[in-house]
Amino acid sequence: MRPIIYLMALNEALQQEMERDPTVFVTGEDVGQHPPMGVTLGMLQKFGPQRVVDTPISESAILGLAVGAAAAGLRPVVEIMFLDFLFVAFDQVINQMAKMRYMFGGKAKLPIVVRCPCGGGYQMAAQHSQSLEAMLCHIPGLKVVMPATPYNAKGLLTAAIRDDNPVFCLEHKKCYTMAGDVPQEQYELPLGIAEVKRPGSDVTIVATSYMVHEALKAAEELAGRGIEAEVIDPRTLLPLDMDTILKSVRKTHRVVVVHEAVKFCGFGAEIAAQVAEAAFDALEAPPLRVAAPFCPVPFSAPLEEAYLPNAQNIVEAVSSVTPAKA
């Protein structure tokens, strides 16, 4: 273990997988010459232009290339510069990569990883700051991971590259420079296993991506009020580890779900609904959601700050359903 930042944990996972498996290659806009987020820094020099492939500015072409390469036996790792740009190529996502293995009766494997920076906080405005994971989670045939820490980023990306199905790795831009302890050797974190980030007995907080860090801040403040919150990071949204979430809810009897995406039709609604269906008898308060308002992400710094969910919003939600202890 040694501390490295999130983006370097991703870089290390990519390099180690490319060294291990010659069928793995990286492609996307500027991934070789001028990596926009720095994740593929130094890889062109190490692996050459046949395995670190700069592409034209055409998301549809990039993902079409990945679908064809994967069906032919390679393992492409695609970088889409911003998650927002993915929708230029949604036919390739929804009608091709998500369905080909099913429609070929399992004979065609689609081992594709699509990496996408997501989320707000940097005044990049409405077309570069969205959290759109719920749209991907609605498509059968895809897998979706949202690592919140450097350790999870490396382990989940490694598992995603080795998976024979299309996996979307959504990386919050605020996480890129966060540091954490990461093993130097290769390791895999199985998809579909949640992590209990903080144990607690009074309320379950399920938070995704960068909101995990806001939830942990909120849990510390709540502890000062006598409320012990259990914080769970699902880590992967598809497949989703509801067993860990339900076990926690049956212990705490309350649940608050937190994500940065807009609340309406957000992924938190799916978690809340499954909790209500499977553990209604254990609940002592209604499931609550903390999320962004139904509005495009503002460009203005103070407006964006007001728009994005934060630890104080989580504290207020938890306090509304959890009685403080004397």
Rg of the chain (C-alpha set): 20
Which of the following is catalytic: 128, 213, 253, 259?
A: 128
* Other C-beta atoms lying within 10 Å of the C-beta of residue 98: 18
Q: Say whether 128 is catalytic.
A: yes
**Length of the chain as a residue count:** 326
- Give the separation between CA 248 and CA 189, rounded to whole angstroms: 21
Q: How far apart are CA 135 and CA 208, in angstroms?
A: 15
36 and 57 in contact (C-beta within 8 Å)? no
What residues contact residue 229 under an 8 Å CB cut-off, 6+ apart?
198, 200, 202, 203, 204, 205, 215, 218, 219, 222, 223, 318
Indicate the helix (H) or strand (E) that contains 260.
strand 255-262
Between CA 124 and CA 119 the distance in angstroms is 10
Catalytic residues: 128
